[in-house]
Amino acid sequence: MLWMTVGAAAMALGVIAGAFGAHGLAPQLDARSLQTFETAVRYHLIHGLGLLAVGALAALGVESPAWLAGALMTAGIVLFSGSLYWLALGGPAWLGPVTPLGGVCLIAAWGCLFVALVRAA
């Protein structure tokens, strides 16, 4: 239930970020910054859905790899999307190297989810 709750919260925040970007930021950001923000929203939402899938799998009793997938997916959303949000809004350039770390978390999360699904089969 934990990962479904986190996933639902991530989805709500992703929709809020998307609406904010489309309606509040679009007139104020240059094209590159807006594209960066939109990438952050897209990955945020995709991985919010992934967290819902992790929660559903955990509910089936596949705890260990599913739990790790949820933790990595959450960290990935924060690091990947969070750093892109911040950079798009003019945050410091030192955040740039944080983005790939978030991407690695997201890739590892999908790997853990794969292992959890194989174990559940």
Predicted confidence band at 113 (pLDDT cuts at 50, 70, 90)? Answer: very high
Angle of helix 2-19 relative to helix 64-76, nearest 10 degrees? 20
If pLDDT is split at 50, 70 and 90, which confidence band does 108 have?
very high
Q: pLDDT digits over 31-47, tens only? A: 999 999 999 999 999 99
pLDDT in tens, 83-100: 999 999 999 988 889 999
Q: What is the pLDDT of residues 46-76, one digit of tens each?
A: 999 999 999 998 888 877 788 999 999 999 9
Give the domain ranges of the chain. 2-120
Are 68 and 97 in contact by the 8 Å Cβ rule? The answer is: no
pLDDT at 57: 86
Give the separation between CA 58 and CA 39, rounded to whole angstroms: 28
In the chain the first and final C-alpha atoms are separated, in Å, by 21
Q: How far is CA 19 from CA 60, 82, 114, in A?
A: 34, 16, 32
Distance of CA 88 to the CA centre of its chain: 16
The structure tokens 């970007």 sit at 21
- Whole-model pTM over 0.85: yes
pLDDT of residue 17: 97
